Chain A
Amino acid sequence: DGGITQSPKYLFRKEGQNVTLSCEQNLNHDAMYWYRQDPGQGLRLIYYSQIVNDFQKGDIAEGYSVSREKKESFPLTVTSAQKNPTAFYLCASSIRAAGGSTDTQYFGPGTRLTVL
C-alpha cells in the first residue's frame, strides 16, 4: 500500500519544548515538502528537499528544522524558537526533483500540533 504517512495524528507540546513530526513515504519520490496550514489560510511552505542530504528553506522556515538522511523520510522539528507553533502540519512528496516541469504533490494526512 503506497503512500505518505505522518505521525502522530495529534501532538501536544508545552511551551519551550522542541517536538519532531514524522513523515515517511514509500512512493520512491525524490522530493519532499513540509507545509503549515492555519485556519482561513492557504498552505505555506516551511522546508523542502529535492534529494537526500539536501534541503532548502521555504517561505516560513524560522523556528523549524529538518533533515533528509533517507529518501523515504523527512522529519520536521518544531523548535522552541517558533513563536506560534499551533497549526496543522502537512507533509507532501513528488516524483522527481526540480529541473523539469512541475510534478504532482501528494499529501499525507497531517499532524495537528497544539501548544499548551
Chain B
Amino acid sequence: QQQVKQSPQSLIVQKGGISIINCAYENTAFDYFPWYQQFPGKGPALLIAIRPDVSEKKEGRFTISFNKSAKQFSLHIMDSQPGDSATYFCAASKGTNKLIFGTGTLLAVQP
C-alpha cells in the first residue's frame, strides 16, 4: 500500500528524443506526486510536482502526466539533452510530508 513502483530502472535516449519514466502507486490517499532529479554525488532537487486534481502539468521540457483511475503517473522529458543525464525519482505522499520514493531511473542521454 505504501510502495511506489518506478520503471524502467535505466534508460538510454538519443539527444533530442523523448524520455519517459513511469510510476505506479496503490494508496489512493496519496495527494502529492513530485519528481526529483539527482546528479552523482549531489542531493536530489525538485523538478516538477503534481496534485491529483489535474491530469497534466508542464514546465518547460518537463511534463507530468497523471492517471488517477490507473493510479499511475509519468515524467516526460521532451528534446532530451546530455545535461539531463541524471537519476530521476518519483515520490508520493499524503499530508504528513512523509515522501515515499520510487527506486529511481538512471537516464543517459547520448549526444
Contacts and interface: CB of A to CB of B under 8 A. Distances in A.
Main secondary structure of the interface of B (DSSP, over half): loop
B54 interface: no
Interface in B43-82: 43-46, 49, 51
Interface stretch (A11-19, A70-78, A79-87, A95-103): A95-103
Interface string A36-58: 00001111110010100000001
B104 A41 contact: yes
14 contacts: A6-B43, A33-B97, A40-B9, A42-B103, A43-B89, A45-B98, A48-B98, A92-B43, A98-B95, A98-B97, A102-B31, A105-B46, A110-B42, A110-B43
Interface of A: 4, 6, 31, 33, 40-45, 48, 50, 58, 90, 92, 94, 97-110, 112
Interface of B: 4, 6, 9, 31-32, 34, 36, 41-46, 49, 51, 89, 91, 93-99, 101-104
